[in-house]
Amino acid sequence: MENFPFAFILPTPSLIPSAHDNHIERRLSALRGQFSDQAAYERILAQEDTLLYEVYEIQRPHESGELLTGISIVHPGKVGSEFFMTKGHFHAVLDTAEVYLCMKGEGFMVMENPQGECRVEKLAPGEVLYVPPRWAHRSVCTARLEDLVTFFIYPGHSGHDYGTIEQQGFRKLVVEGEAGIEIIDNPRWSKKGS
Amino acid sequence: MENFPFAFILPTPSLIPSAHDNHIERRLSALRGQFSDQAAYERILAQEDTLLYEVYEIQRPHESGELLTGISIVHPGKVGSEFFMTKGHFHAVLDTAEVYLCMKGEGFMVMENPQGECRVEKLAPGEVLYVPPRWAHRSVCTARLEDLVTFFIYPGHSGHDYGTIEQQGFRKLVVEGEAGIEIIDNPRWSKKGS
């Protein structure tokens, strides 16, 4: 037996649900136009259509009174200075909330409402985040190595509206600046476009 | 320094939410008539109005589209052979679901619907339990020393109906038998009474 450092793994919970109905994988190509640094986006995409995030959904009827749940896993990484993130969306039925419970990792939930009010809230294990009705939301993973894992619950009749955010993104971006993580204004966003 | 065994505490998360709007304490006197062994109930109550469970609620409008969340803590103990439990309830708006995520401890969720179908599901840390619309539910702590702690989420317009269950309880009881935990028929429950 040689006398060198060695490593092994003590398995930790994977946080992939033991039963689920859908497994969604969102890759870089699905977020075309969403990252600020388009040149960096094209450079990475030319190499590989990188997996940005995954969602494990538990299926239930899409009706009021039912609850839709699942696990969201945002992988670590950046496009230019902007951290990997979900597409982000409003609910199609605007007056529906969503609850997130952070299970693992670190990151932020970027939120805004149609009146233009913004909130960017930190996510860390044990933190419960209430996204009130009418607030669009996107999660962002800011760790260097670790996934951001959240458990989410929203009303069965909520639906999704991705189109509004796709037009010019959220008003705020989460980027790596010289001094660390920074929340900055989205240069692509303009009142004219809204 | 003497050479005897000694113990100290490494603090673990308390699971009491850092912010909450209501703290509900339910004591033995609030569950009069709900435990099978009435003599044991009266003996314990004569000594002390024991704390059975606590709920920390986060307040939101009681409206469709909103989500009501909180932490439920059922303490360990028994009345006769029957484990400490919550009052249990249907939702006043029957067609509303509830999601439980077990954070700590061990126990069961006792459930039944108006058609008389019953399910008793185990709760352990990491387990997510979906209580579908129309199912009454009660949680039961079966540990000897440890609290059963769950995080719950239900639609804002659900409301509570405690009265139906108060009449004759659930069809199933969770008790300590000679061989361990047993799920038995509730002797107090009769079709006539329903």
- Which residues of chain A make contact with B60, given a CB cutoff of 8 A? 97, 130, 132
Q: Judge whether residue B194 has pLDDT over 60.
A: no
Chain A residue whose CA is closest to B99: A67
Token representation of residue B168: 């004759």
Q: What is the mean pLDDT of residues B121-128?
A: 95
Q: Judge whether residue A36 has pLDDT over 80.
A: yes
- The whole-number pLDDT of residue A115 equals 95
- The whole-number pLDDT of residue B3 equals 86
Instruction: State the Cα–Cα distance between residues A38 and A31, nearest whole angstrom.
Output: 11
- The whole-number pLDDT of residue B11 equals 77
For residue A29, how far is the Cα from the chain centroid?
Answer: 15
Confidence label for A55 from pLDDT (cuts 50, 70 and 90): very high
Confidence label for B100 from pLDDT (cuts 50, 70 and 90): very high
- The whole-number pLDDT of residue B110 equals 98
Q: Judge whether residue B87 has pLDDT over 70.
A: yes
Q: Judge whether residue A194 has pLDDT over 60.
A: no
Interface ipTM? 0.88
- Are A65 and B97 a contacting pair at CB < 8 A? yes
Residues sharing a CB contact under 8 Å with residue B2, sequence separation 6 or more, in sequence order: none
- The whole-number pLDDT of residue A193 equals 59
Chain B residue whose CA is closest to A91: B65
Instruction: State the Cα–Cα distance between residues A38 and A33, nearest whole angstrom.
Output: 7
- The whole-number pLDDT of residue A13 equals 76
**pLDDT tens readout for residues B165-186:** 999 899 999 999 999 999 999 9
Element (H, E) at A26: strand A22-27
Residue whose tokens read 């179908």:
B117
